Structure formats: C-alpha cells, structure tokens
Structure 1
Amino acid sequence: MAYDGAFLWGPANFSGRPPGRLLAEGALVGLATAGVIAGAAVAGASTGFGVPGTVAGVVAALGSAAYLLATNAGRALVGAVALLGGFLAWWLPGQAAQAVLAARGVSRPVVVTEVHVHRYEGRDHVAYSCAVRLPDGTPVSAEAWRGCGAGVRPGRRLTMVFDPDGAVPPTDRVLPSSAAVGFAGPAAASLGLAALCGVAVVRSRP
C-alpha cells in the first residue's frame, strides 16, 4: 500500500516544511509551465496566430509532465498536470480572444445573408447561425449566433464586435465587461496549474 501511494502521489516522506530548494524548484516549474501556456494563448490571440499558440501550450504541458516523470513525481500528479495543461492550452486561446475584443473591439452593423439551421441528433434542440456581410457588401468570415434565430431573415441588421487589428474573428456573443474580467478566470486556472506542478515537484523527492 505504501508503494502504491508513493507511485501515485510521490515518495515524499519528510515531515514539516519542505526543503527550500524543492519549494524553489516547484515554483519555477509551475510558473514556467503556466506562463508559457498562458503567454502563448495571449500572444496567439493578440496576433492572430492562435493555432501555433495552442500547439506551444500543448508542448509546454507535455514537456512539464515529462520532466516531472523523469524526477519520479507521483504518476497521478503527472497525469493531472498533463491533462490540466492540455485543457488550458485548448481553452485559454478562446478566453484570450474574448478579452482582446473586450479591450479593443469595435461594434459594427452587419447584414444577414443566410440563416443556417443546426439540428443536434439525440437532443430536442435546434440552433441558428447567420452568415453576414458588412453594409458595403464585404463578406464577414465569422457567423452570428446570439443574434440569430428562427425569426431572422436575410436583410436583417445585427451587430457584431470586430477587432480593428483583424487578429481575432468578429463575434456577436456576450463579451466580458473588460479585459481584466476576461483574464480573471484564465489567470486563476493558470495559478492552479502552477500550484499542481509545485506539489508534484515537492512530493517527487523522498
């Protein structure tokens, strides 16, 4: 049973406060992992290179998990770091994009050109999305969802928020009230990942 516990959670058997070097190493690994994942997401959303940012985040999460595995960290903690890090690499770019739009987005009118009906198998639910264009006829790459519905017809005017720099796709979804509010959730999740990495490091030494 003791072996199973050490295998899952790490072999740490010291009592009291962990050694300072382990705390420092844990903080460094945790902050570096979370910082790279969050930084890649923000940079990707701000510059329009979202996919490379996601890939960089996944690589950082897997790299951190590999390091923890090599230092004999508990397998349950290693798995948790890999899963949470991978999730954040996928989730944070979308949250960062919303925060970017909240900070510098501009509302502009758009005109509905086509209404799409989305039916989901196994669920009694129907969703609608609208293909739109700008009033001058320029097509808009993103579709409107929140303002679209069964009663909307081509020619109807809706409002979407656009990024003046063109790095983030436009949207009509509800945005955070500010960039700070938009980044609050991602920041808390990133700190949680950093703390999890720190615990894994501390418990990886007997």
Structure 2
Amino acid sequence: MRGPEPRGLVDTLFGPAHYGMRPPWWLVREAASVSAAAATAVILAGIVGTLSALPAAAAGTLASIVLCGALLYLAVIHSGRLLVGLVGVLGLILAFHVPHAVGEAVLARHGRTQDVVVTAVAHGGIRGSEATRRYCSVARADGTPVAVRLWRGCGPAVAPGDRIAMLADPGGRVAPRGLNPARSALGAVAECGLLMFAFLLLCFVTVLRSCRLDEGEGGR
C-alpha cells in the first residue's frame, strides 16, 4: 500500500522514494510493468496509425493521446512532477518519431522509385531562416497530382518542370516521400529504439521513486 502524498520540494519534483535501502520487489515489478505497457502502447498506436494510412502528424497525435493515459497514471501515484514532465517530453518525441520510422521501414522494404514532375515549389518555416524547407508539389508521369508535397530532393536548384525521384508504397499504406540516399531506414529505426529505451528507463525510475512506504510495508 502506498503511503501519504510527497512532502517537500524534493519529494514533489523527484518523488518521495522512501522505502529503506532498496525498493521492494513488488514495486520493481510494478515499475517494469508500467514502463513496458506505456512504451508498448505509444509505439503500437504510432504503428497502427501509420499503417492505417494516417498522415505522420495524425499518427503521432494518436500516439500522444495514448501517452496522456500513462502520464495521468504517473500523476495519480504521486510521481515526481519533474520526472513526469521529462517522461512527457520524451514520450512526445517518441510518439512523433515512430510514424516516421515505420514509414521509412515500409518504403525501404516495399517502396518503388519513380520520377515525378515538379509542378510548383514553395517555402515552409520561418522566412529568412536557414532551416526553411522547400516543398515541391509534384505529378506522376500521367499527370496525376501526388497528394503530398515532397521536401526531400526539393533542393535550391529544383524548379517547376524538373523531374525528381519519389519513393512510394504500391499498397498505399504510407505517404510517398522524396528520395534521400543519405537517410536510411535502419538509422530511423535505430533512433526509435534508442528513444524507446530512454523512455522505458525514465518511466521505470519515475514509478520506482513514486512510493513512500510505511514501516513494515517493504516486504509486501
């Protein structure tokens, strides 16, 4: 049974973590279960959303909604507010990275490269910023417009009428993307794995530090 709410600034920010020399096994199991369930739910939501043909932003939003459930649980068990905030930030990064990693993996395995014609070029982001991207509206060889704009391969030298390469999934499960040889699917999946591990670890520590046990409760 969990004890009273956290007391003091340190307890509020980092959780009470009062249980003697080391946490009881039941608390370790709970921390492992909660962190694994949270990570699995966020990743599955991102995968399902992406493979349901949702745009990457929409799939990331779906995974973020699932993440809110995990954050609510952490708040209910009086986890440290700072740790919960860090879990939320890392979870959001993971939630929006999963759809991109899934898309990269699907296109790497099933994608087909085709040349498309640039019909218009637009700038995105803050004007005058070096980080501003160029977005190309493109059409297939038969004149059919592609629903999404491409930024990969849409370099400064590209103008309407030029041809650029596009990678598309014949099954239509993920949106087509411009071709970028420097960006590999393995790299995107590896980044996702590192984010997942960091999220698991931080969530585990957050739950572990959320408990203040009364005397005699440590062996439960």
Would you call these one fold, judging by a TM-score over 0.5? yes
Distance 1:70 1:187 in 2: 28
Could you tell me which residue of structure 2 aligns to residue 137 of structure 1?
143
1:28-39 correspondence runs (5 A): 28-39=33-44
CA contact (8 A) 1:45 1:100 kept: no
Matched letter for residue 41 of structure 2: V
Structure with greater helix percent: 1
The alpha-carbon distance between structure 1 residues 133 and 121, as it changes in their structure 2 partners (threshold 3 A), is: closer
The alpha-carbon distance between structure 1 residues 196 and 149, as it changes in their structure 2 partners (threshold 3 A), is: closer
Which of 54, 67, 71 is residue 65 of structure 1 equivalent to?
A: 71
The answer to whether structure 1 residue 148 and structure 2 residue 149 are counterparts is no
The answer to whether structure 1 residue 4 and structure 2 residue 42 are counterparts is no
Q: TM-score, normalised by structure 1?
A: 0.85
Q: How far does the alpha carbon of each residue in 1:129-188 deviate from its partner, in whole angstroms, 9 at most, with x for none?
A: 32211111111122233333444343322111001111211111426434x443111121
Unaligned runs of 5+ in 1: none
Matched letter for residue 23 of structure 1: V
The alpha-carbon distance between structure 1 residues 105 and 35, as it changes in their structure 2 partners (threshold 3 A), is: same
Unaligned runs of 5+ in 2: 1-6, 213-220
Could you tell me which residue of structure 1 aligns to residue 48 of structure 2?
43
How many residue pairs align between the two structures?
A: 204
| Identity among equivalent pairs (%) | 34
Distance 1:83 1:136 in 2: 44
Which of 83, 87, 90 is residue 93 of structure 2 equivalent to?
A: 87
* CA deviation after TM superposition for structure 1 residue 120, in Å: 3.5
CA-based RMSD: 2.4
Distance 1:185 1:38 in 2: 13
Distance 1:14 1:165 in 2: 54
Could you tell me which residue of structure 1 aligns to residue 184 of structure 2?
177
CA contact (8 A) 1:113 1:130 kept: yes
* CA deviation after TM superposition for structure 1 residue 94, in Å: 2.3
The alpha-carbon distance between structure 1 residues 123 and 177, as it changes in their structure 2 partners (threshold 3 A), is: closer
Matched letter for residue 78 of structure 1: V
CA contact (8 A) 1:110 1:135 kept: yes
Distance 1:125 1:64 in 2: 34
